[in-house]
Each structure stands twice: as structure tokens, then as C-alpha cells.
Amino acid sequence: MRRLVLVGAGHAHARVLLDFARRPVPDVEIVLVSPVALAPYSGMVPGWLAGHYAWEECCIDFVSLCRRAEAALRPNAVVALDPAQRVLLLSDGECIPYDWLSIDIGATLTPPKAERMALLPVRPLSALQMRWDALLDEIRTLPPDTAYRVAVVGGGAAGVESMLAMHRRFTGLAPQVKFQFTLATQGNELLPGMAEGAVRRLAGHLARRGIEVLHGFSADHVDGTHIVGEDGRTIPADAALWATGAQAYRWPRQSGLQVDERGFIRVDAYLQSTSHPNVFAAGDCAGWCKPLPKAGVFAVRMGPVLSRNLRAAIDGAWLKAYRPQRRYLVLIGTGDEHAVAVRGGLSAEGGWAWRWKQAIDRRFLGRYNGE
Ligand SMILES: Cc1cc2nc3c(=O)[nH]c(=O)nc-3n(C[C@H](O)[C@H](O)[C@H](O)COP(=O)(O)OP(=O)(O)OC[C@H]3O[C@@H](n4cnc5c(N)ncnc54)[C@H](O)[C@@H]3O)c2cc1C
């Protein structure tokens, strides 16, 4: 029996398991290594922060997917890889040999150390959940008229959408508290690369809620209850969400797999490692030949190509090239059952956009969770 090991319950692997459930690969044992059984679907995470969904409602159930694909689930994390020997080392000390390996582990984020501030990195998403619940408990019990300062560091889509979601959640949960919200962005513009009209709309939502936006702020470290910028400016914060760019996990680089300059696994057009042909990578952890935004839409679209190419690698057939979509629909929730829709240079907004986003996201999850 030959073995295909999937590392990470990421968006692309959900599709691989679904395809393998529908059309099994004979004589191949499939193993999924994942420390989590429920993996969040990124599109619904800001809705969860805003309180529109319970955590379970926005997760893909990998236990059920593995059962349907007759794959074995190892509830662990990979800590090391020896691609020459074709063996993985898991966090519990187990070694797993493989014939083919596919990696879809997303990305991480290392925020500065903070002792007197609740500092929550947004990646990995599954780690955010526990810290978020603890923060909500703290906020819920704050005495009336307490001054509480909330910051988000990062002015990309995740930072802006999370800030709007947090505003809605915190003010609804603890109306007795005097909140002050600040969003810090490194560049001179919010949402770099997004259509001008959409940036204007979202900046309007932030302004109408009294959320201060600090431009040109490069966070350097945290000192007590202050985030200190490289230029010496400070942001006072009791709680901060860290939403700066994605960083690569270290073990793929340490294993000797070829990686790009940021440490993401270098793959060719077929999502195949450029150094080890029996290793594939997809989603945020993959450094595609041309750099792609670290966004779930790409991980999702890589899924069918990854699935096809894993099957082809097993069968010794031709691989298919992945072609990233040039334009795609982005729906950014504003926390209040309203969303801004963006495609290319065009944007529009309304309650209809939020309902549209909900319908797309629920249909997506329904497909994986077998509803
Ligand atoms: C707050 C926020 C909101 C976002 N909203 C959107 C959005 O609306 N639309 C969008 O397109 N993108 C969005 N993104 C980006 C999106 O979350 C990521 O691009 C997407 O999740 C990447 O998918 P993936 O398959 O690469 O990895 P992930 O979905 O991150 O999955 C990786 C999995 O691998 C597991 N893993 C990690 N390390 C190991 C290991 N060593 N061993 C085994 N398993 C491991 C993790 O536990 C995780 O389950 C958002 C991001 C954030 C932070």
C-alpha cells in the first residue's frame, strides 16, 4: 500500500478530501495530519468576530470529511520533515513515512511580546479562537464607565474587516464601557491594492463609528500598555488584534525544501515543490512562481488543481497547471449585516451584499460539511 500524507486542514485539502471521497484512489492510504478537527473557513471569520456565527458554524468538519474519504486523521502537528528519507515527524514523536506529501498549513504571525496587554495575532486562525473567547469574557465583566482602548495593527482587508467586527461586538456586548478604537496601518493608504471607491466606502464606515486611523505607523514593540512605532509614536491599548502580513512556518525551510525569500514553499505552476517532485503545497504556505496575495480565495481555487495533480502524480499521469484568477469578487462585511462588494475597480454596498456573502459562504461550507 502506498501512502499520501496531507499536512494541514487547509482550504485546498478540504477539496482534495472531498474529491477523494467522491472518487477514491485505489491502493493508496490517505493520512491527514491536523492538530484541529474543525478548521475555520476564512470568509466567515470576521462574521464570527462580529457575533453573527458561532465558531462551529464557520468551520469545515475534517473528521467527517476524512471519514467520507476513508482517510486516517492524526490529531497532531508536523514539527519536522526529512524529504530525502520521505518521513515526517509529528509533535507526539511519531514518524510517518510517505510516498507523496501535500502541505496546506497556511501561515502564521509572530507579534511582539506583551505582558500587560491582551495581544491577539489573527494567524493562525484556530489559535485566535481561545484567546478571543477569553477577551470577550473580560470585556463582558468590565465595570460601568471603564475606559478601554482597542487597537488593530494592520490596514489590509483582514485588519479593517476585523476592526469593524470588533467595534460591533464590543459595543454591543458592553455598552457600559467607554471604548476607544484605533486602527494603525503601515502605509499612507488603507487597503493597499483595493479599488479606490471601496477604500473610500470602508474608510467612511470607520469614520462614522469614531474609529481613529493612524497612517504610516510601523509597529516596533509593545511597552506596557502602549504599542510603540518605529518613529516613536505610541498607541495606548488594553487589547490589540495583530493583523500584519502572513509569515511562513519554519519547519519547511529547515527541512531543506526550496522556499522563496519569505520562507514559503516554492512551487511551480503545478503546485509541485521545485526541489522535491513528490511534495506538493497549496494555499498560503505555497510560494507560487509569481507572488500571490495570501487570501483564502486562492487556497480554495488551488484545491481542484491540487486534487487532480495528486491523483496524476499517483497514476504517473500529466499534471495540470494552476492559473490564478486575475479578478475576483471580494465581499467585506462591516460588522452590521452590511457589506462592501468589490470586483476589479468597481464597488457597491448594502444589506444585499451581506446577504449575498452569507449565501455564498454557507453554500461553500454546506458542500464540505455534507449538508
Ligand atoms: C481575520 C482574517 C480574515 C480573513 N478573511 C478572508 C476573507 O474574507 N477572504 C479570503 O479570501 N481570505 C481571508 N483571509 C485570509 C485567509 O484566512 C487565508 O488566506 C486562508 O485561510 C488560507 O488558507 P490555507 O488553506 O492556506 O490555510 P489555513 O486555512 O490557514 O489552514 C491551514 C491549516 O493547517 C494547520 N496547520 C498549521 N501548521 C500545521 C502543522 N505543523 N501540522 C499540521 N497542521 C498544521 C492549521 O491548524 C490549519 O488548520 C482572512 C484572514 C484573516 C486572518
Q: What residue owns the CA closest to ligand 1's atom 29?
A: 10
Q: What residue owns the CA closest to ligand 1's atom 10?
A: 296
Cα(80) to centroid of ligand 1, in Å? 20
3-state helix, strand, coil in the chain (%, to 5): 35, 25, 40
Q: What cell numbers appear for 95 in the block?
A: 514518524
Nearest-angstrom CA–CA distance, 240 and 370: 36
Residue 310 pLDDT grade (very low, low, confident, very high; cuts 50, 70, 90): very high
Give the pLDDT mean for 28-38.
97
Q: What residue owns the CA closest to ligand 1's atom 44?
A: 8
Kindly give the pairing relationship between strand 118-121 and strand 329-333. Answer: unpaired
Q: Is 283 in the pocket of ligand 1 (CB under 6 A)?
A: yes
Q: Is 295 in the pocket of ligand 1 (CB under 6 A)?
A: yes
CATH topology classification for 2-108+246-324: FAD/NAD(P)-binding domain (3.50.50)
pLDDT in tens, 323-355: 998 888 999 999 999 999 999 899 999 999 999
Q: What is the pTM of this model?
A: 0.95
- How much is the mean pLDDT over the chain? 95
Q: Is 273 in the pocket of ligand 1 (CB under 6 A)?
A: no
Q: Is 81 in the pocket of ligand 1 (CB under 6 A)?
A: no
Q: Is 12 in the pocket of ligand 1 (CB under 6 A)?
A: yes
- Ligand 1 atom closest to 33 (CA): 43
Cα(284) to centroid of ligand 1, in Å? 7
- Ligand 1 atom closest to 300 (CA): 25
Q: Where in the chain is the domain with CATH 3.50.50.60?
A: 2-108+246-324, 118-245
Residue 371 pLDDT grade (very low, low, confident, very high; cuts 50, 70, 90): low
CATH architecture of 118-245: 3-Layer(bba) Sandwich (3.50)
Residue 322 pLDDT grade (very low, low, confident, very high; cuts 50, 70, 90): very high
Give the pLDDT mean for 284-301.
92
Residue 291 pLDDT grade (very low, low, confident, very high; cuts 50, 70, 90): confident
Q: Which residues contact 195 (CB under 8 A, 6 or more apart)?
A: 342, 344, 345, 346, 347
Give the pLDDT mean for 34-61.
95
